[in-house]
Amino acid sequence: MTLIIILSTIAASIGIDQITKAIVRANMTVGETIPIIKDIFHFTYVRNEGAAFGMLSEHRWVFMTLSIVALIALSVYLIKFCEEGILTKIGIALIIGGGIGNMIDRICLKYVVDMIDCRFIDFYVFNFADCCVCVGSGITILGFILSMIKEQKAKKAASSDENTGE
């Protein structure tokens, strides 16, 4: 059951990301912005040729290679070694799905389509895959913390049982 949840999370992340990007490419021109809530939230079509926030645009292949290695490492960890709970596994699956979503763009288009423009915080334009990576990272960290707390409680209970002679 866990494998189905993990694979569904990865597939949904990639699917939603690619669908939203296809809609933007089909209906907007590069640089076009559509205010949803004026000066707060816009859809703005941007082509990002670099890594996160346009960094390393001249070194696309280096970044792509590192991304592929990271995606493979996360996938192997998730399948072979991850003993944490479902929350951690879902977080890692979101990171993998988001990474694959952006990698598809880099390979097929040679740039990543970005469109989510949160102007109220004066931030870079990003996409659904980026959201998956960020939310997945937060969920993974939370999962690891909860796993450590559970482990500490189990050790404390075992130690308490040992001290009472049970």
CB environment 24-42: b (16+ within 10 A), e (fewer): bbeebeeeeeeeeeeeeeb
Based on the structure, what is the number of domains in the chain?
A: 1
With a cut of 80, say whether residue 16 has pLDDT above it: yes
Considering 17, 105, 114, 117, which one is annotated as catalytic?
Answer: 114
Does any domain span residue 165? no
Nearest to residue 50, comparing CAs of 62, 36, 34? 62
For residue 164, what pLDDT band results from cuts at 50, 70 and 90? low
Res 11: pLDDT: 98
* Residue owning tokens 């049982």: 161
Is 105 marked active-site? no
The neighbour count for residue 83, using CB atoms within 10 Å, is 7
Does any domain span residue 100? yes
Does any domain span residue 98? yes
Using a cut of 0.95, tell me whether the model's pTM lies above it: no
Cα angle for residues 95, 97, 98 (degrees, 5° grid): 65
Domain of 35, in residue numbers: 2-160
Is 114 marked active-site? yes
Considering 17, 105, 117, 130, which one is annotated as catalytic?
Answer: 130
With a cut of 90, say whether residue 81 has pLDDT above it: no
Res 122: pLDDT: 79
Does any domain span residue 63? yes
Does any domain span residue 66? yes
Does any domain span residue 74? yes
